[in-house]
Structures are given as structure tokens and as C-alpha cells.
Amino acid sequence: MSIEETCDVLVIGSGAAGLTTAVTCAHAGLKVVVAEKAEHFGGTTAFSGGVLWIPGNRYGRDQNPDDTREAARTYLKVEAGNFFDADAVDAFLDIGPEALDFLERETEVKFVPTLYPDYHPQYDGGVDIGRSILAAPFDSSKLGADLKRLRPPLQTITFMGMMFNSSNADIKHFFNATKSITSFWYVTKRLASHAIEVMRYGRGVQVTSGNALAARLAKSALDLGVQIQTSSPVIELQRNTARVTGALVERDGQRVAINARHAVVIATGGFSNDSVRTAQAYSHLQSGAEHFSPVPESVTGDGISLAQIVGGKFEVNFENSAAWMPVSKVPMRDGSLKAFPHLLDRYKPGIVAVNQAGERFCNESNSYHDVGEAMIATGAVGASGKVWLICNRSTLRRYGLGYAKPAPVPSEHYVRNGYLKTGKTLDDLARVTGINPEGLKATIETYNRTASAGEDPAFGRGNTAFNRYLGDPEQKPNPNVGPIGEGPFYALEIFMGDLGTFDGLSTSVEGNVLDAEGAPIEGLYAVGNDRRSVMGGAYPGAGITLGPAVAFGYLTGRKIAQSAGA
């Protein structure tokens, strides 16, 4: 026999989409419960860069007053191609800025501008600045006793347990600590402050990026009386003949029937770790390649399955079913392997990506999603395919390579544990990696021939504002292109990962889950990665997952509140 509880709205999942929906409903006066399967709240959001792509946001209007709604719409139409959904795109462009203004005006959620260009600013409607914003840093000690339930940031993208902004501005101080007095004192103060936080709270509390967004949303929800119930997986949805009425939750070893007067919202983050759906959706898995996702292990498609059982429609439609992210496998002290997302190193001069034949196959300074597409399209990953990042020692010491940090952090440990492969010559490197030696030598020779002049005739590295944004501005004339000098050389194997899935449940624009005939399932909604992406399987710019998550979370929450008469 189960315990019974009642609320107005039950949200299943606690990432940005679910918490935004919860906050919007609670602000309207509704009683909201959030049921989270994992022991921590925050979902994939807490692991993310915390960037939101919202054209027309108030920061962007200041940065780029010439940008227009029509330009953004044109850009999305070009990006999505045959999967362009005019109604959903129009709603996103209309509601996105309003959602941000609501959160900043009424809650603890705050943002700061970024300098991110769109990922394809050369396309019609693309811009060099103004559409991506970032969650402002947050003192997570304000969560009080709930701090321990905030999902920690992704371990591999912290340094000595500290977090850095997705804008990467402050990480440069750590790289320059031995070269600049200003950077030295900056690092000294950060280390001292972090040490005090760890002694007092058991972890760093000055959080940034996605961890700050998750913490700010959770604090806002808790302040509004939302119950965030962690370690509470939903077993099944409950419904009568007319509508979904609640869900059966397992909590503290008991089954709890939570009756929801007005709505149940699916917000479990998609299906990144669902082996059945990913095998169906990911072509590289079908060709024998590996997939190694940095998304939290708890994201296993539960919400989609729950919705399907009551008639919800889910299909694999998009050419790219997920947001691809090249990752490497980091050996940890406990013997486990953790994913390191390659967000920065690929853009730096003197680093190239090659396949097992030793050939370059893409512009390494394109977005992670574009590089992932190229890995799949060119067959660089597969049953016998491998992808390697290649550089020499001076480049490794200047920029780092993956999880291996730049000087003054020693790199020998990463060779000993197998993370990095090294060779005095390119022949030696080819021998330890299995890369074709003649192909590798020919590729490096061809690349170096024009790299000193900052040119890359093969792939055009550095030709777009986005390429250059994450390059090295001190490298002239091209921040992304420089020669690979003398050995010793290093290689790091990278694998296909993802930041979240694009295919999802069919919904109305306002989030009602639809059945196979296109009719709404009353009382059931979906937001975030459980809902089919408005981007149509494309990746137009930094924050195109979190931007729609927040925008449609707000739209869905507002719809529920209006339907409830709140």
C-alpha cells in the first residue's frame, strides 16, 4: 500500500528545464513537487557550461543593436533545413527574452553577457556576438543544508576542485601564473579562498557555469516553496480515462502516489545513457564505434519511456540525434574512466586531429558538434577507426592537451597512466598509436608548409569569428594555425560523446505531450531534452540546449498556471 500526497504540479527531473517550469508555476501560486531520480539535483545542467543561446536577450541588444528577430529566424531556418519547425521557432524567439527577464526580475537567477559568436556566423542570419549569455557566478552556500544535494560539477573540467567560467577568462590566469605577477596574485587568492571553502563546507561553494545556473534555479525554487525530492525515481504515471493525474514514486524504500491536480511534467534530460535508444539513433554505434558520454549516468530515457507507456509519441527523426562532443577517457585514481570534453584545445595552433591513416579530416577549430559530425561522416570512428589529437611538447606545455594541463603542471604522469602517447619522432609516435606512419608524416609536412604563414588551405581554420574566438590571439596572423615543430610528439585518442539528445517526445508548442495521432495527452507535458529539439538536430551556437530548455520551461509553466486559473 502506497502513501498518498497531493500537489498542483509534479515535475519529474531537476535540470534547467524542469526547475524553470517549477519556478514559473510556483511563482503563480501553484504547489509544486520536483521528483529527481538521482541523489543530487541539477541534472546535466550542473555539468554544463551554463551558456544559453537566446536571440533578442537584453544583453545582446546592447552588444549588437543591429541584430534582429528576422535574422535569427533566417539563421535557424538555414541551420535546421528540412527539420525547421516554424511554429516552435517563432515561439522560442518570442518567449526566450521574456523568460530571461522574468527570471532575473523575480528570482535568484542572474546572467552576464558573453563574447561568443554564433557557431556559423558566415551563414545567412548568423552574427558575431549577442545571442549567447552565461549564468552569473553564485555563492552556493546560500543553499544551506541543501548544498549537499547540488550535483557537483563535472570532475574532469575542474582544476584542483575549482570551477572556471565558460568564458575561460579566469583560467588564463592559471596558465600564466609563472609568467605574470598579476596572474600569480590572482591564482594565489583563488587557491586561498578555495581552501577556506573546502574546510568550511567540504567543497568549493563559489560556483560558475552550469553549476551556478542549477544552484540559482534550485535556490529560487526552494524559496518559492517547491519541494525538490531527490533519490525519488518515478515508477509509473497514473491516469484516469481523461488525463494523466500523477505518478507513483519510490522514496525512502516506500512507494508514494503523488496526485497532481493540474499537470505532470517530464523533464528527465533525454536518453544519452539509454543503450537501446542510442543503438537505434547513433549511426557510429551501428558501425562499431564507441560512445562515451559525459552526461550524468542517471539520464537513461526514463521520462520518454514513462510518456510512451501512456501513449506519448517518440521517434528518431533527426540526422543528428544528439549534440556531439569529442571526449577523451581520463584514468582516475580509483581505476575508473571519466570523460573529458574537448572544449578548448582543438582551437589552438599547433594541434591537429588525424584518423588512423594519419590524415586530417576536418577543421579542428569548428564547434564540437561539427567536429563530431565530421568524425562520423568521414568514418574516422568505427569498428577499426580512431581519432587522435597530435602536437609537440612545446605546444603541450603552452596550451595543455585534454586533461593534461599546460606548464607548470607536469605532464609525465599522463604518459605513465596511458592517457597520452608520446614518441621522439613521428615514426615513434605512429608506432605506439598504430597510426599509419607515412600518412602521418605526409600530413604534418603538408600542414606545416603553410602553417607558418597562418594558412590552412585544406580546411580553412581561422576563417570564421567562432574559430578565432577560442584560438590564441597572440598567434599571428592566425590564432588557430601554427606549425607543429620538432619532437618529442604527443597523441591523445578522442572518442564520440554527447552533451544531450535532440530527438524527443512530440509535443505541442506549449509542451503538451502528443500521441501517435497528434492529439494532446491531457495533463502531461515535456520540457528540455525529453521534448524534440527546436533546433532540428542542428547546433547553431553556444547554449542551444539550455536556451530552449529555459524558454520552453517558462512557456510550459505559464501555460499550466493559466490552465489552472493561477
- pLDDT given for residue 154 in this prediction: 85
Return the closest-CA partner of residue 389 out of 457, 454, 340, 450: 340
Residue 499, all three cell numbers: 552533451
Q: How far apart are CA 317 and CA 559, in angstroms?
A: 27
- pLDDT given for residue 483 in this prediction: 97
Beta strands in 221-351 (DSSP E): 227-229, 234-239, 244-251, 254-266, 322-331, 337-341
Q: How far apart are CA 204 and CA 221, in angstroms?
A: 22
Return the closest-CA partner of residue 157 out of 491, 497, 510, 501: 497
Residue 90, all three cell numbers: 517563432
Q: How far apart are CA 551 and CA 279, in angstroms?
A: 30
Residue 436, all three cell numbers: 599509419
Q: How far apart are CA 147 and CA 157, in angstroms?
A: 20
Query: What residues pair up with 162 in beta bridges, in sequence order?
Result: 159
Q: Which helix (H) or strand (E) holds 286?
A: helix 283-286
- pLDDT given for residue 534 in this prediction: 98
Q: How far apart are CA 443 and CA 358, in angstroms?
A: 7
Return the closest-CA partner of residue 542 out of 211, 128, 116: 116
Tell me how far CA of residue 564 lies from CA of 199, 237, 498, 512, in angstroms. 47, 20, 37, 14
- pLDDT given for residue 157 in this prediction: 75
- pLDDT given for residue 273 in this prediction: 97
- pLDDT given for residue 166 in this prediction: 47
Q: What is the DSSP letter of 116?
A: P
Q: How far apart are CA 279 and CA 408, in angstroms?
A: 42
Residues 404, 408, 413, 415, Cα dihedral to 10°: 60
Q: How far apart are CA 283 and CA 262, in angstroms?
A: 40
Per-residue pLDDT of the chain (566 residues; tens, 9 = 90+): 569 999 999 999 999 999 999 999 999 999 999 999 999 999 999 999 999 999 999 999 999 999 999 999 999 999 999 999 999 999 999 999 999 999 999 999 999 999 999 999 999 999 999 999 999 999 999 999 999 999 998 878 766 555 555 445 566 666 666 667 877 777 777 677 767 677 777 777 889 999 999 999 999 999 999 999 999 999 999 999 889 999 999 999 999 999 999 999 999 999 999 999 999 999 999 999 999 999 999 999 999 999 999 999 999 999 999 999 999 999 999 999 999 999 999 999 999 999 999 999 999 999 999 999 999 998 888 766 899 999 999 999 999 999 999 888 889 999 999 999 999 999 999 999 999 999 999 999 999 999 999 999 999 999 999 999 999 999 999 999 999 999 999 999 999 999 999 999 999 999 999 999 999 999 999 999 999 999 999 999 999 999 999 999 999 999 999 999 97
Question: Please, what are the domains in the chain?
Answer: 1-163+204-286+293-320+502-566 (3.50.50.60), 322-498 (3.90.700.10)
- pLDDT given for residue 45 in this prediction: 97
Report whether 14 contacts 530 (CB < 8 A).
no
Q: How far apart are CA 431 and CA 439, in angstroms?
A: 12
Identify the sign of the CA torsion 42, 47, 48, 50: positive
Q: Which residues contact 58 (CB under 8 A, 6 or more apart)?
A: 97, 100, 101
Tell me how far CA of residue 129 lies from CA of 56, 74, 168, 538, in angstroms. 11, 16, 16, 19
Return the closest-CA partner of residue 260 out of 564, 44, 565, 566: 564
